[in-house]
Chains A and B, each alone.
Chain A
Amino acid sequence: MNIQSKGYDRMKKVKIFLTLLTIAIVVAPIAIEVLLYHDNLLGLIIPSEITDIVTGNDGGNSNGNSNGLDSLLNSEFEMPQPVGDPHYDPATKTVAYTFSFTNPLPTAIEVDDVRAGIISHNDGFFIGNMTIDEPLKLDPGQTADITALLILSDDAINYLETRSETQSSINIDLVDLNVNLAGLQVQLDRQNVGDFDIPSQVFG
């Protein structure tokens, strides 16, 4: 075998090797995934984390922590719970409602601002404007008290005084609710939030 044919032979081997390498690089990863997901080909495109959220399965890991969206969409997410009685400050005509809230997510929640108008659900009477007293930051699993301040007008005070003669709570709607949650600006035109106690020390 002369030098030229030796070189040609080597060239041929290199060509074959490179062709096989190209095929292996392109085919092997996809083949491995198809074999792994052969009984659930949709899983190739839609990750199990998303499937768990859609189907409502427990997306929890082995140490019992569940993923963020699962916590938000399922039972671990609880609405803020009222703490104690609402407090009325006659000097500022402000009612302070305190709520307890636990962050169910594995990431911190930052609420920069909450603003809303409050109206009576039954007759649409405008009661006042609500805001939170300070920006809120909750670490994962942390529970904190959130104070919502409701500033009343004179008409609203009269309205609540009249109502408090016959009832201890009032069904309210939030209107033009604005929440700034970690850069996400949420605005709701009107949302019923149920019955709220009328502060007894003033109107009771």
Chain B
Amino acid sequence: MKMNVKQFNWFALVGGILLLILLPISIYVSWWKLTVGENLVTVNASPVNTNFNLMGTQFSPALVWAANLTSILTFLACGIIMLIYAFIPSKPYSKDLLSFAYRKPLYIVIIYIAALLITAFITQSALGIGVPISGTSTIALPQNLTMGAHISVVISSAFQWPFWLAIVAAGLFITARIYHTKLSSSALKQTP
């Protein structure tokens, strides 16, 4: 079988490779990190690995672990399927491969940001603790939680570079979909 490199979907190829590289990186480097005090509490959150460290005790709720596993499998499947599609964008079933893969990374990024915002909102509403999504702030714990003591602590949080890499990968997947339309129309033009 002769392959025509002009017919490859390069955006899908680069996006697929990027997503498969991003996956192991995100397990070790979180997308977002929150630090309370001098590492009294740390939260490492990414769709593939979210864990909490409370004064040396590390834990992750089982439901969060299940969501992380879903994201790992989704990234893995989307990356592999996008790579397969990238080489055969003009096959009859290629559109199905593309449709399966191109939206999911973007959905995961959007759900991840929404989950962060919702968690910050709930923490503010229920506990009165304003957690910054990005930046540093000093917060005072409500005195009903501290037995009358005034307790304040510096909280800092930041998105880390794998988060921005994920946005690039999701963008490439969307671009691959747009490029697919261009490839299809040029293929149609070439058909006698």
Contact = CB atoms under 8 A, between A and B. Distances in A.
Interface of A: 7-8, 10-11, 14-15, 18, 21-22, 24-26, 28-30, 32-33, 36-37, 43-50, 59, 67-70, 72, 105-107, 110, 140, 181-189
Nearest to A183: B37
Given A25-B73, A33-B65, A69-B54, A187 B100 contact: no
A147 B44 CA distance: 37
Q: Classify the interface of chain B: helix, strand, loop or mixed.
A: mixed
Nearest to A11: B93
A70 B59 CA distance: 14
A11 B66 contact: no
Contact of B73 (A10, A14, A29): A29
Interface string B168-188: 000000000000000000000
Given A18-B81, A188-B149, 8 more contacts: A11-B92, A18-B100, A36-B62, A47-B62, A106-B57, A183-B38, A184-B152, A188-B150
Contacts of B152: 184-185, 187
30 contacts: A7-B92, A10-B92, A11-B93, A18-B97, A25-B70, A25-B73, A26-B70, A29-B73, A33-B66, A36-B62, A45-B61, A47-B61, A49-B59, A68-B57, A69-B55, A106-B56, A181-B37, A182-B38, A183-B36, A183-B153, A183-B154, A184-B40, A184-B152, A185-B151, A185-B153, A187-B150, A187-B151, A188-B148, A188-B149, A189-B148
B77 A21 contact: yes
Identify the 6 closest CB pairs spanning chains A and B, nearest first: A183-B37, A107-B56, A68-B55, A29-B69, A106-B56, A67-B57
Residue in B36, B70, B96 whose Cβ sees the most chain A Cβ within 10 Å? B96
Contact of A14 (B40, B59, B62, B93): B93
B96 A29 contact: no
Contacts of A182: 37-40
Contact of A67 (B56, B92, B148): B56
B7 interface: no
Q: Classify the interface of chain A: helix, strand, loop or mixed.
A: helix
B160 interface: no
Contact of A44 (B38, B62, B93): B62
A18 B96 contact: yes
B63 interface: yes
Contacts of B150: 186-189
Contact of A49 (B38, B57, B97, B148): B57
A25 B59 CA distance: 23
B150 to A, nearest CB: 4
B62 A43 contact: yes
